[in-house]
Amino acid sequence: MLFAHGFGCDQNMWRYITHAFENDYKIIAFDYVGSGNADVSAYNADKYNNLNGYADDVLDICKELNLKNIIFVGHSVSCMIGLVAGKCEPSLFSKFIFIGPSPRYINDVDYVGGFERKDIEELLDTMDKNYIGWANFMAPVIMNNAARPELGEELTASFCSTDPVIARNFAEVTFLSDNRSDLPELKVPSLIMQCLDDIIAPIEVGEYLHRNIADSTYRLMKATGHCPHMSEPGETIQIMNEYLSDKSIVN
């Protein structure tokens, strides 16, 4: 199982759920360039000006470690990074598990992404002017678990520890990307895990993905917010296990 973290996060945030799979799978987690303990000097703005650069890194990891029959578990933007990787090298992957995925964050004709373009432009402008302030405000909103403030605090700390220039560039690539045309090209079975009351990926997005990805299973979670692997690890583990053991809800 290859775990790929979301924007502003690192591999440590998978610790709430990886233990549940250690006996049955080889667990691999990593940090994208600019996140966690990754080598910042490896960052190249030209390479990472779209999600393809990040997908290439995923494929490099797979090939370097000689991985086969990979179950790719992606959170947030990593879902589309994984999808691009799977489109390029489908033979490497056996299943995809998408947690809070979105192929496009900006609303379009007959498409609900959750944001208007001006919302994203304002977000990026705020990041430019005051990244730390942005992180302190947005992280708890994204986590959306007011009863457990420590989760928002952890996400805030993770945002703040990320290189601000790289984070801002990654945010632009993430929120301005449009991978809708890639969805029908995924030929590997997938699980779409959709949270309630998720400001980043509303329910309409998960339903859109399910309609446009062949051989996909859709599960609407009880968890709220955008990080169920942190806020509701028990539910996350249960749904993943049901899917992996072929006991999930029929498509």
76 a catalytic residue: yes
Distance of CA 64 to CAs 24, 29, 58, Å?
Answer: 22, 14, 10
245 a catalytic residue: no
From the candidates 35, 76, 78, 231, which is the catalytic residue?
A: 76
CA atoms of 75 and 100, how far apart (whole Å)? 6
Strand partners, 2: 28, 72
**Per-residue b or e along 210-224, where b marks 16 or more CB atoms closer than 10 Å to that residue's CB:** beebeebbbbebebb
Strand order in the sheet with 190-196: 28-29, 2-4, 70-75, 93-99, 190-196, 216-224
Identify whether the C-beta of residue 207 lies closer than 8 Å to the C-beta of residue 79.
no
From the candidates 5, 182, 198, 231, which is the catalytic residue?
A: 198
CA atoms of 193 and 229, how far apart (whole Å)? 11
**Per-residue b or e along 1-20, where b marks 16 or more CB atoms closer than 10 Å to that residue's CB:** bbbbbbbbbbbebbebbbeb
From the candidates 5, 75, 226, 229, which is the catalytic residue?
A: 226
The gap from C-alpha 158 to its chain's centroid, in whole angstroms, comes to 15
226 a catalytic residue: yes
Q: Which residues are catalytic?
A: 76, 198, 226
